[in-house]
């Protein structure tokens, strides 16, 4: 949610005939006006933070993606991980390879290219994200139906290992997951909201991508584009 603030200051003539000093009563009113404006700004920021943390769910089934904050300056706790290819994600081209630690065992490093030969659904998620939780059961149904034709790879965004694994365990998701602990891969992939999902075919070519919850119908369409026909 982007909230823009602007203000307009009216111009006054410098002519002695039209300019006049403010009255004492007007001068006394100015501090109160600034205080009210300050409270309004604080309230608007609070609403923005709430929508970000809640994942953008409006309670009516409409679940827009939650905006991803800026990532500059976030330290990487896991050396030698992050983007491995200079190219950015473009449909029809090879998806950029990356290396991230396994969410369940941080001594293990996984790369996207490890799954070459299978279609891969790369899904950025977070435990605070309502739409992320809503789409995971659909992923599990597709995984059960398609077996080893497709790999669902969860990429947790800026959370601890406990939170990253906890939400998967809560929903019964046993598919592999990795920690994007500094957000460097999300930044490289131009992830702008949670959840964000990329559909890669067995040859490593990006075939579809979606910011926001992937519906059941979209899941079937995108998997089919990735070479794995699926009808929910």
**Per-residue pLDDT reduced to its tens digit, 24-58:** 444 344 444 444 444 444 444 443 333 333 344 43
pTM reported for the whole predicted model: 0.72
- What is the C-alpha to C-alpha distance for residues 204 and 101, in angstroms, rounded to an integer? 20
Q: Indicate whether 11 belongs to any domain.
A: no
Residue 210 lies in a domain: yes
Sign of CA dihedral 78, 79, 84, 90: positive
Domain count, the chain: 1
Cα–Cα dist 172/136, whole Å: 9
Say which residues have a Cβ less than 8 Å from residue 155's Cβ, sequence separation at least 6: 100, 122, 123, 124, 125, 177, 178, 180, 185, 186
Does the pLDDT at position 13 exceed 60?
no
* pLDDT band at residue 7 under the 50/70/90 scheme: very low
**What residues make up the domain containing 213?**
67-225
> How far apart are the C-alpha atoms of 54 and 104, rounded to whole Å?
25
Q: What is the mean pLDDT of the chain?
A: 79
Paired tokens of 118: 């299978």
Q: Which CATH number goes with the domain that contains 211?
A: 3.40.30.10
């Amino acid at each position: 949610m982007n909230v823009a603030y602007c203000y307009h200051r009216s111009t006054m003539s410098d002519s002695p005939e039209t300019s006049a000093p403010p009255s004492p009563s007007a001068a006394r009113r100015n501090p109160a006006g600034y205080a009210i404006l300050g409270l309004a700004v604080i309230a608007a920021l609070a609403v923005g933070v709430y929508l970000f943390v809640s994942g953008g769910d409006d309670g009516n089934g409409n679940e827009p993606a939650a905006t991803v904050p800026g990532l500059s300056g976030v330290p990487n706790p896991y050396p030698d991980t992050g983007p491995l290819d200079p190219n950015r994600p473009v449909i029809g081209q090879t998806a950029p390879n990356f290396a991230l630690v396994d969410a369940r065992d941080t001594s293990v490093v996984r790369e996207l290219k490890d799954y070459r030969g299978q279609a891969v659904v790369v899904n950025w998620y977070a435990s605070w994200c309502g739409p992320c939780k809503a789409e995971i059961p659909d992923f599990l149904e597709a995984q059960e139906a398609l077996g080893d034709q497709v790999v669902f790879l969860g990429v947790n965004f800026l959370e601890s290992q406990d939170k990253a694994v906890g939400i998967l365990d809560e929903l019964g998701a046993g598919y592999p997951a990795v920690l994007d602990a500094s957000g460097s891969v999300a930044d490289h992939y131009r992830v702008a909201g949670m959840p964000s999902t990329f559909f890669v075919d067995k040859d490593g070519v990006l075939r579809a991508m979606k910011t926001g919850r992937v519906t059941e119908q979209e899941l079937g369409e995108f998997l089919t584009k990735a070479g794995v026909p699926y009808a929910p």
